[in-house]
Amino acid sequence: MINRSISSPSITAAKRYVLALGITLVTLLSACSSPIANRTPINETFPTVTGENLNQEQVLMPRDLSGEHRLLLIGYVQDSQFDIDRWLIGLDMTQTPVTAYELPTIKGMLPRMFETLINNGMRKGIPKQLWGGVITVYQEAEKITQLTGTENPNNARVILLGRKNEILYFYDRGFAVDALNDLRDVLAKNEQTARQ
């Protein structure tokens, strides 16, 4: 008699395969929707949306976001993470005084069905101490996509919110040192205005 028990490494490999398949399926199906024309929402108010951070806490944005200036790094597809990582490194290296939040924003019914699978996949790749700053938006994602547009979805959307939740800065062309410097200039000017 042959013992065909499954060892735990096989189970782990199977889980990874299912996760990769699920993320690929969600990405492909969400890519099938028509793109929304890109726009530059400077001076507009960020919409009220509810998301859930990786600690599984509901977050009403922008109200629940802490920090005098909040930087939202919005990704519509998994490849946006490349831009987001570069922004985070640049912010850290330049010691930019801003509170940054990552907002994976995935619209559509199908992604909501895989929400737990997607969030668990992100938890595996992100250190636990950072989970509070990663807020996934599914149900109200359309409010954000309408605000920024979805053309060139691989590019992260970078939004700086002021004290009254107005959009002070917006960038949607990946990452560039010039863009980081522009953001830092906007922050400095805003600080100077607040002191007067």
Mean predicted lDDT score pLDDT of the chain: 85
| Least confident among 35-44, 94-103, 118-127, 181-190 | 118-127
Rounded to whole angstroms, the Cα distance separating 69 from 67 reads 5
CATH of the structural domain 8-195, one choice from 3.40.30.10, 3.30.450.40, 2.40.50.100, 3.60.15.10:
3.40.30.10
Question: Helix-strand-coil percent breakdown of the chain, rounded to 5?
Answer: 45, 20, 35
Residue bearing the bigger pLDDT, 74 or 68: 74
**What's the rounded mean pLDDT across residues 57-61?**
97
Most confident of 27-31, 102-106, 127-131: 102-106
Q: What letter represents residue 141's amino acid?
A: A
Q: Which residues contact 58 (CB under 8 A, 6 or more apart)?
A: 50, 51, 52
The pLDDT, as a whole number, for residue 188 is 96
Question: Residue 168 pLDDT > 90, yes or no?
Answer: yes
Secondary structure of residue 74 in the 3-state scheme: strand
Question: Residue 183 pLDDT > 90, yes or no?
Answer: yes
Rounded to whole angstroms, the Cα distance separating 74 from 106 reads 10
The pLDDT, as a whole number, for residue 19 is 56
pLDDT digits (tens, 9 = 90+) for 77-117: 999 999 999 999 999 999 999 999 999 998 756 555 566 66
Question: Could you state, in order of their start, the residue ranges of all structural domains in the chain?
Answer: 8-195
